[in-house]
A and B are shown apart, each in its own frame.
Chain A
Amino acid sequence: MAITFDQIEAGLGIEGPKFAVSRESIRLFCDASLDYNPLHLDDDYMKGDFGKTNFGGIIMHGMNNFGLITRMLTDWALPAGAIHRRLETRWLKPVKPGDTIMPSGVVKATRVTEKSRWVTIEVVVNNQRGEQVATGEAMVEFPMTASAS
């Protein structure tokens, strides 16, 4: 059931899709995004140190998190006639082959402006250990013409 703007309150939860990360999924993301940074391809290169960090092997593209959060937001917004307008993210932990990640969101606030209606959503991506790998904030617009109430 698509949600209407008037039904949305702070605290409302949004669940995103689970995503199993593998060497193949990372390779596919390379081909789809054209981001062939050796961080995502070359285990030998990743045995080296990055400053004080050693990843021990290839890591998933941070932007794969971004793509999954986007998928969650558009799957939530589109059926309601709403539009995904903004996403800001930070990466907290590397994601590796074998991990399963899942985005989720919580509505922080709603706001009616002169010409439209907005929902601000706190987003997070967790791995299978419940650790946060990415956090961020999103805005979805519910135009006055959509699902008018």
Chain B
Amino acid sequence: MTQAVGSTRFETDFWKDAKSRKVWDDIVPGEPRETLPYTLTREAISLFCKAVGETNPLYIDEAAAKAGPYGGLVAPPSIHILLMFSCTPADDWMRSPGTVNAGQSWSYNIPARPGDVITLQARALDKFIRRERLFVVHDNVFFNQHGDVICSGRGQTIRPM
């Protein structure tokens, strides 16, 4: 199964490329992850808003957003939840089935906007074993096409075994 994401297809079966993904042992802290530029659309923002029940006109009503503080439509800050998957390839280890999110911290600079071509700089920063579980700490920064930081975040996942 695939879903259209911009002009490309997104593989929704996370098992399909499972063999090509790095496991905990392969992950080198400090090594940049391969990432893909992604053009954020109004439709993607609307769908994300629907999933979390966002109704703020700044995200969905063009006329109201134009009169608002950003002079146009923006995405909610939490849009990085989508960007993390839209800006990484199918063999990225964030997609390994059974990856458990163990906590996140994000800082927000400027909002993402529809039409932005968003890039990601990402790496594992650390990895460790605690209570018999395999952890990776990741570090992610999203930029717009002007090179401005949209947001930056650090997360921990427990790797599947």
Contacts of A50 in B (CB 8 A): 98, 100
User: A33-B48, A63-B81, A74-B56 in contact; A90/B103 too (CB < 8 A)?
Assistant: yes
Stretch touching chain A among B105-113, B121-129, B140-148: B105-113
Q: How many A-B contacts at CB < 8 Å in the complex?
A: 120
- B71 contacts the other chain (CB 8 A): no
Contacts of B77 in A (CB 8 A): 70, 74, 84, 87
- Beyond A34-B82, A87-B77, 12 additional contacts (C-beta under 8 Å) are A32-B82, A33-B48, A33-B82, A34-B12, A61-B101, A63-B101, A64-B51, A68-B53, A70-B78, A74-B77, A78-B58, A91-B102
Stretch touching chain B among A7-15, A37-45, A105-113, A124-132: A37-45
Q: How many residues of B contact A (CB 8 A)?
A: 42
Interface residues of B (CB under 8 A from A): 3, 5, 10, 12-15, 44, 47-48, 50-54, 56, 58, 69, 76-78, 81-82, 84-86, 95, 97-108, 132-133, 161
User: A37-B95, A38-B14, A38-B15 in contact; A32/B48 too (CB < 8 A)?
Assistant: yes
Contacts of B12 in A (CB 8 A): 30, 34, 36
